[in-house]
Structure 1
């Protein structure tokens, strides 16, 4: 336990305790430099010398810092204080999802989908970076005052390329939300997270978890063996399509679950559509063999479970019991004086039953074929799969979709899983990509109002604070994408530069550089921003420094430099032999060019000052696999030198970068792998 007056890392003043866990304690603190509230997670003192616990703590910091998403709690800083590791995160002032469900259940189904969409969007990003959470539950999902979801606690998350992914005969995660393969100690995959998401969706709809029990063992066995209780039996108002999302996500066999979180989100978003009102109950294609259930070390048997097991072992085996009952029956029949009449009647009945059964089987053969699921398949492959199943292709309709790529199938009509006769017509709905929308002008408006307006249109919003002598505190100075530009909101992040008011007078002209080695790039960028430094980024392969961490810096740590000086950091790209990424990041700096101070007439000078009030107008154009040089990639104004790191996707060759400042091209070069 840390004293409430303690100053952690000479920067974070502990205010209160937010929670105490098995691995770490979480405190509410104040960042005395940026004067904002933060949450600080500190490794418990008694676990300081436990290598595995410390490694798990570091893994959480690394996993979360790599996942920049509006619905994932941001890591702002990491460090050690007197040998004790700590992690600084954004403070979410609101309840966790468990508390929210308890206070507001039953939730409106549209509210359920709104919350679940945010969770799925965050998990989709984590899975895109090959990070599996493994402990998704409402207690790890926070809501801020505006109702936005924030996923926290990646403490047991693992990357798919780590050797620790297979935890044979061990249990990680919370038993009420744990997938059957986790309870068996099997391979943990993205589908394990999707199972947990299905249980969370079940709880959002019903207010309760599907399985409860006296012991963790009994709950785990229910997840492994029992079907998910019917939601519609409890509440017939819930559409079958929505219950089907739960049933598919929580299928016992991972092969029957959604392939991706995006696929689950796409299905969920249409679950209340009128067109799906007559959907049939989802039926999985695979069955899991439950003959042998392994109880893992993470669970403990209760005394009554052991007693029950011993009692069952003392009983006769099923074969012996059946044999005894069979013997007693025939002894009773033969003791009767008319036993031969009974035998004749029984023989006739058996023959009649067999004839009826055989005839019935012939008459009641399945009259239809199940419509195959071709969601997210390319149009050509989808048509081939449908025709192979014996159906005829009907109309093909185009529709915008934010979750399904251009040219791939959104849905079929009739829907996948329906039983139809061969030869019937199947219509396809094909994605034409996300719809375009004009970016609104939110400059010089209150940040909260601007952020709400953009988020309602589907944009992700990032806030950057900046001092301003002209714009009132809390109002937007500039936006990263100019008003009027047409973009796809679900695929676009807009950065709003917000005024902090007038800049305070600097206390020191010289800054003593801190050692940034082994810090994450984001931490270095925050440090540079805090002290008014320009960060130049160089990327190199390294066999010794983890990807995304800083290898070295120039000038060296301890050097005293002026504010505005450039600090160059070398960031690790990981081992060269493991590099399979087709993405290339191009880093460059655009210098701010102050207006020329020439003798001019008063009217002309006033006009130029007004024109330059926003700073230099910078437009960035890129060409790669996903972008055309004819479209603006970024459009913004700068009042100081600014560094940019632009990712290029170069699967099919080289790209191009062009930078225009105030109408003049200042950079135009080829980009290669």
Structure 2
């Protein structure tokens, strides 16, 4: 039996399956390696407990908890666990390998990140943590270093409760890592209960860093940083970047409230608030103020020497200066030798900082953003908006960006103009009526317009063989020809009827006609062919039978019929279109001039007039989307046509955030004013 190496070297075959390729990172409790899975032929990340800690019961327990917690969380934004095992007594965990930077490096290299992109990144993180919290899994160590990004920009959260890098500031308690002090909630720094709200606090700090490029609090020691989290207000985002709206800053302020009761009740609530933070309707939002004060007395961390905490408080003028220690005693107490290991890191960071051309920025990826959002993103990145051109696109929705020039992620000088190509939506083509045409002619006509054509045969006595009986897409509809296939049903003759022999009886055999109601025309024709019936097709509107299905037959179902009889099939053309036209009047409301109402006037009206938004619901519109958005400076009439074939319609008119019309529209309504 091979013996376990004291060091996991390149080429080592772990568990007879995972061949070590390289070291990805070294942590306080575990190391992570890049390995080849020789069975499934893929690269994986393998986390292995450090050799010197393999007999530590607390470390083993944490490792097992992480493996169990992560394996239960199946989410596209959480690193997947593929395998858990031991190699000669050494526990290991095999995980998805994410090729790309962690969020810390991404922020450092791309700051300032456009606001819509920050929200896109945070949405993925929040979605993953929403699932974790539903499973009652609290991460406890959320920070950008534990959030990975693949080459396509997809987020993957890792390290649920173990392995903190040696070069990160961390507070320890009996040698167990509690988390990076830069992202820890006040209750964590006091050694209190860690809850879902503790994770939300860390998420707020991550959002702050993504928006500014740096953490809110720094200090000479971890304890100094912890004190700031417990006692200092979060530095203003808007003072650092005026492009950040108050609503977005409020998300950070609420998430990082000192008292957990003032934070979001759930990650889902935080995500919903964040997703609407760039909405123009929240532009005038007031700054968030917590309802609970920070009256809790600062507690000494259980894992820290009380005199160290007292020294930190003395720097803030909050306690007496402790007795001075001798030089050698200080060396022994703080184990300052580890500081030397940070010098190479500081040197590299300094070199990177000096090497960066701070007049250069990268073009943000605004593809699939609305034109307005794309312009905002470009301006917030220090770029100017150039020419805006529009073209048809079958892949990108109308009003959204197809591409930019220069392309996304291209390095350019600040202030450079970026041109936008915006979609006009698909180039819709009206479907022609080809019923009654010969197949060759119909096919040629449809192909010329860009449609793909399929055909199938059906017996018919109504149409001559070779003529089109029906088409799968109704004539007159406007569709994207490049993505539409039209199936044509082509008539073929019924088989010739056998002549009765002279010796046979002149009386034909009869049978009961089946119920064809609700069947497709093709099914009905097939039935008629099998029973040797002649078919005649008629069409009519129906509110209850789908287009192309049978409404009724003549003779009716159950009637006695014979071979050679004619069966008339009435086929649905769908519901008859019903339209209701109504006129609504919205009164103009002038802004009040008195000082007592000036504040409310400014919020409800502007120099442009009253802000009117109209929402309608009918066959073609949803009440959740704005139908019209405009300003009025006088009493204004709005005439609106509703399509109410499928049921009642609705209308809601909002003037300066106040609903002035809220009605249900039925097909029986007539023209009227309101």
TM-score, shorter chain, exceeding 0.5: no
Please report the TM-score for the alignment, with normalisation by the length of structure 1. 0.44
The structure with the largest alpha-carbon Rg is: 2
